[in-house]
Structure 1
């Protein structure tokens, strides 16, 4: 693989030693064999391979919750569907993601995991990285089911957890900690290296704290499908905001969560907030009817996709759009980018991703002044867009 030198008017760098994320203006990055070897301030002598004027060079975006995109629901997509999604996600600046399978009977989810395991080796090497699978259910609360099928919700028994872990693909599980057997399941999942997220839950703040004691480290789409903020009856959202062990996922399409509440999350959970899309098959598509978990959803001309009963069913959000929306409502651009790169990558143990630092994978995105992706690189190879 050829060497690469990129200079940029502004560049976000995140040292691998835990130092602060900062902006170099101008800055440069050198790449050898798909890995970043040098990051510096200024413009080095010699003609660069790529010179980016305007905008911001950032780490490739990392999305921990993608049900589908471009017309394909990944839980039952065929090879063509998977190829389409991984080849086109770089258009949104996403260089790594967790395909998300929503609630289904355990055996059906296990079959979907086996299909994914068999498909992954054949996916394009220049597409967005698949980091594993996020199982959003079936261990959820019927009281907070959202768009999930209540008939398929169940307790996280040892047998069910073992069945779903069999392929080794599961990297993230969303569950309701108030279900019978949940504390033991959280400990088992965490011991297996799986990130556990509290979601679709009617738990009390104390129950969420106990889940964090057992090893949970994330909260799925804060404020949506969970107990919230009440001064005498605090729920999931309260604990997500005050517990430094937990990273709240936040859908900043400004439909799921209002702008002032998004700002509150960023302030209360500073350095912990994770931008996610919860994108459904309707994302990137015109208004119409699509599927989520085998059931129809309708994408309107404005707003998120909906079930027939009006329940929000995922989103049509792009992750670069989430960054742009966060900046538009007053979040510092470095903080917004961090929430879509370093924070999610670190949560799932991929400290080689989500940062521009020596030794990290050369996954990069050039965000324009509108904070939308103008060009994307994976392992040092440009896979989307043009550059000067």
Structure 2
């Protein structure tokens, strides 16, 4: 599924924030040790609840989600009913997709993402509903044209059928532009103290080998509205710098990095370089000087001859594990409108 990344400028000023509510879902066939049906809810890239065919209920993943029952004691019972009312649809859709692709048995996965984004300054709303099969996009809803897009030839029949169902399209549009943003704002209100918190990172300089780029690695920060870059003599560098993605940690915080290619940097010029980390809502930058004695490596010693304090392999290994966890949490989908999805049959 295509992921949307937000470029945020002017982090130290009172900038607008684009909030998101996304439901990822997965229906699977013959996948060992994995639920046949999984639904995961994500608010501002933080998992808030889950529902799957193993636990057989919807349940919170954040403490603040329990506060909803103060206003609606039947909330989790209702969400469980909604969640599992859609499970048969995924089983039917997998069977239909197998026929379209001339498949018989084997492992197959149907995935999807439903949700919306809301700009808290302009009020602009954007909604999306996209579905995939066996790791590739299958059909995507275009909210602007109110039509379905079929990236695969096998999905053309589905596109034609769904495009003709104007009532269903109107229902989906209403949810994406009205219902979803309403729930998004409601969840934000419950989780405000947690979601609006600010946590500063720990920043380290890491290097795999003496000839490798120096990585400025920041972890443990929140929220994920950050900028990290290298500069020389106070000027931001754009060449010989590679920025990493912002990735989630297991505790809800985030990590990111920026790599500086030092192959052409002479030892006497190292002091002219520094890594800058900026966090939205925080006035002070976190500045880390390019200092050979501060670099932590996994190839032996730091610049001053002492043992390195943090093996880079362990750090990068943790990143890989996190990526696998993100991929492993297959999809996420909380169907708030009954009968929104119908089988492709």
TM-score range, shorter chain: under 0.3
Normalization by structure 2: what TM-score? Answer: 0.26
Would you tell me which structure has more strand in proportion to its own residues?
A: 2
Rg larger in structure: 2
